[in-house]
Amino acid sequence: ISTGYLLAQTVFQLVFCHVSHAIGRKHAYLSGLGLYMTGSLAASMSTCTRQLVAFRVIQGTGAAGMLTMSAIIVVDILPLRRRAAWSARSIFWMELIFSGILFISLAFLLPSWQGRKTKPLTVLKNCDWIGMILFLIYSIATLTPINIGGSVKGWSSAPVISCFVVSVVSLVALIVHQRHIAKNPAFPREVFSRHVTKFAFVGSVSAGILLSMVFYNLVLFWSGVRHLRTIDVGVMLLSLTLTYTVSAAATGMAIRTWGHIRWATVAGTLFAVLGLGLMYFMSQSTPVYALILISMTAAAGCGIHLPAMINTILASTDKSWHSHAIATRTLLHTAGQCMGVSLGLAIFSHDPHGSLSQSAIITPQSLMRVIKDLPRDSAVIDVIVYALRWVWGTACVLALVAGTLTCLFKCPPLPKDKKEDTDTESK
């Protein structure tokens, strides 16, 4: 269910980005919002798992439009410095209500897109639809085997190997098409012209992977290892979400004030590596306050890293390509989140000693089915801790490697807004 939503949210961001150049930001945003509302309504009335998955895909498609258009609209409206500071059935009914209010509000508040020099159909015709289709094929072919490998199908099985082959072929075709064939590439070459920008995109992907991989498996740890109640798990997640949000907001405002970005990249990397490294030592006997501090340290690192990558990409990209750059960054971050769920499942299911299979726990899903029946002194707890340590260790290494790469190249400072320059000169 979650993978289908994230996959749709990933692949359709590219479509909304290019379509918005033809029909305008407002109509593209409202189209995504309308799809999201439709998916929410349908999901609230679903009667089986297949229907729920299908309607969640519709939701994800709408969310793709909302997510990428929100970022593009902020880039279009705000000066560069100011952007740094902006950086169950009942659930579906709540989503429908809030998105409905948002739809009505934005229909009147968002300005119509002006300055269109060509007809919308002409712009749509010139879009790189082949590149988008190749990216869609690559995304599905990459995430599917990661999601089913080792649990549903063996890694050496024909379906898994076939998917990986299709993934490699489609990736090669996508690269060749973008570099040598496409007249208006779905991934503009100008956006990837500088090394610092390329590695910032890599950092965005890794940040998305870490976010979903760590948060998803923390729920398993708190529920399966520490036997916390559902409401207590929710409180823990809320504390991490607030830490992530506050860290991101504070970092964004600091970047806007000082204009320098590299310090945030370094700080985010250090906090993330420290927190994830300490997670490796979490066990059933670890005090609760220590678990909270460790988790909040990792969340703070991810939060600091978010505005650092966004502003690095904007500062190192020409202003005329900012909308494409921020859309690409949002797309890659969401793709990372989708990959993080699948990678977390694959790493958790990695069972070199056969301990998980002997305990009838093959995947996190099977763990959740028996989680309430596990005694606190069960030997299965040690097996779960061992499996989760593979996840924490992998996440720590990924954060270290990606953070080091993003710190290698110096990022130019954010230029002052024109209004700020005028005020300074007048003083």
Q: How far apart are CA 22 and CA 18, in angstroms?
A: 7
Q: How far apart are the first and last CA of the chain?
A: 58
Spatial separation of the C-alpha atoms in residues 397 and 401, rounded to whole Å: 6
Residue that has been written with the tokens 């904007």 in this structure: 314
| pLDDT interval class at 424 (50, 70, 90) | very low
Please tell me whether the overall predicted TM-score, pTM, comes out greater than 0.85 for this model. Answer: no
Q: Which residues contact 185 (CB under 8 A, 6 or more apart)?
A: 128, 131, 177, 178
Q: Quick one: pLDDT at residue 396?
A: 93
Q: Could you report the per-residue pLDDT of 350-366, keeping only the tens digit for each?
A: 654 444 554 444 555 55
| Residue reference for tokens 């970092």 | 251
* pLDDT > 90: percent of the chain: 12
User: Looking at 76-80, 171-175, 299-303, 318-322, which range is the least confident one?
Assistant: 76-80
The model's pLDDT over 330-345, given as tens digits with 9 standing for 90+, comes to 888 888 887 887 788 7
Q: What's the token pair of residue 207?
A: 């940040």
Rounded to the nearest integer, the mean pLDDT of the chain is 78
Q: pLDDT tier at 105 (50, 70, 90 boundaries)?
A: low
pLDDT value, residue 426: 44
C-alpha torsion sign, points 112, 117, 119, 124: negative
Q: How far apart are CA 246 and CA 304, in angstroms?
A: 9
Question: Is the pLDDT reported for residue 10 higher than 80?
Answer: no
pLDDT digits (tens, 9 = 90+) for 117-128: 566 777 777 788
Question: 1 pLDDT exceeds 80?
Answer: no
Degrees, nearest 5: CA angle 276-283-291: 55
